[in-house]
Amino acid sequence: MRSGVAILIVALCGVVHGQSGVRAGKTAAGISYDVQGSGPVVVLLTGSNLDRRMWARETAWLARDRTVVRYDLRAHGQSDTATAPFSHLGDLIDVLDTLKISKAALVGLSAGSTIALDAALEHPSRVERIVLSGPSISGFVVKERPAFFGDLMTALQARDYKKAADVLLATPVFAAPPESQALVRQMVTENDRLWTVPRDWMKGPARNAVDRLDQVRVPTLVLIGEHDALQREPAELLGKRIPGARLVVIPGGGHLLNLTSPKEFEVAVSSFLK
């Protein structure tokens, strides 16, 4: 299996226990997850075009003293493809409810940070604290489109998903060190079915986060890589407007911060969670 974990689905929603201590399953709504460790719960939320394989290293050190939940976004990894309108936030709550988790810390990268921030605003009683890495914000409008946007849209309009993957992999957004490049390429190319989901099926929150950042009431850590130029503006906005938020710039880091700067990422996150 692509995640390295054998998945057994029992009556739409089941949990399995393997020799490695990994418990895995799918929610009734079709979201695939796995659970490792014990203790306070932390949920890892992936970026778009990626899946939970990106969190392998982080799961290992977090699971030493925490319960770690990873899951694949809808139309990513082993989760089902959308067949009707949905929301990523709703899928997160579905995972928490399925696992009977009342409250958790959320660590999100890129699109995962958007979900974590929306959860902190829409469901504050379910969120202990949030880590927003290479963050994006629901409702935030970039001043300039990235240089690769035109080529990406041309490929998508032609339904040439291989070309779309090649365009993305050539950008700084998906830059990774040599030891992680094969994994990143594999995730981006294997998750191309996300492009088949109608955009109007992906429902955002009732109110965009960008309009109410001053209402976030949970401890917040914002991480941005030195070379993550596209997300620097939203990261700085979060650091300024979320009460008590801490903004940390990782020297030499890229957008896939846990892959480009794994040790620095671990130090920042582990210190914040403690």
* pLDDT the model gives residue 239: 98
Q: Is the residue at 170 inside a domain?
A: no
Res 182 pLDDT > 50: yes
Would 218 be classed as within a structural domain? yes
Is-contact 55 42, C-beta < 8 A? no
**269, 187 in Cβ contact below 8 A?**
no
Contact 42, 107 (CB under 8 A): yes
Cβ–Cβ < 8 Å for 174, 188: yes
Give per-residue pLDDT as tens, 66-120.
999 999 999 999 999 999 999 999 999 999 999 999 999 999 999 999 999 999 9
**What would the two tokens of residue 66 be?**
């925490």
77 backbone φψ class: left, alpha, beta (φ>0; ψ -120 to 50): left
Question: CA–CA separation, 6 vs 162, rounded Å?
Answer: 28
Q: Is residue 238 a part of any domain in this protein?
A: yes
**Identity (one letter) of the amino acid at 156?**
L
pLDDT exceeds 60 at position 233: yes
Residue 197 lies in a domain: no
Domain that holds residue 241: 14-141+204-273
Find, among 102, 94, 51, 45, the residue nearest to 68 by Cα. 45
Which pLDDT band holds residue 4 (cuts at 50, 70, 90)?
very low
Residue 162, in any domain of the structure: no
Q: Which pLDDT value is given to residue 142?
A: 85
Mean pLDDT of the 11-35 span: 71
**Cα separation, 228 vs 174, whole angstroms:** 10
What CATH number is given to the structural domain containing 39? Answer: 3.40.50.1820
Domain assignment present for 172: no
Q: What is the mean pLDDT of the chain?
A: 92
Q: How far apart are CA 109 and CA 257, in angstroms?
A: 8
> Is 152 contained in some domain?
no
Chain CA centroid to CA 11, Å = 27
- pTM here is 0.91
Taking the C-alpha atoms of residue 78 and residue 32, their distance in angstroms, rounded to an integer, is 6
Domain contains 2: no
Q: For residue range 127-179, what is the model confidence (pLDDT) as tens digits? A: 999 999 999 999 999 888 899 999 999 999 999 999 999 999 999 999 999 99
What is the structure's pLDDT at 177? 97
How many structural domains is the chain composed of?
Answer: 1
**Residue 9, pLDDT score:** 26
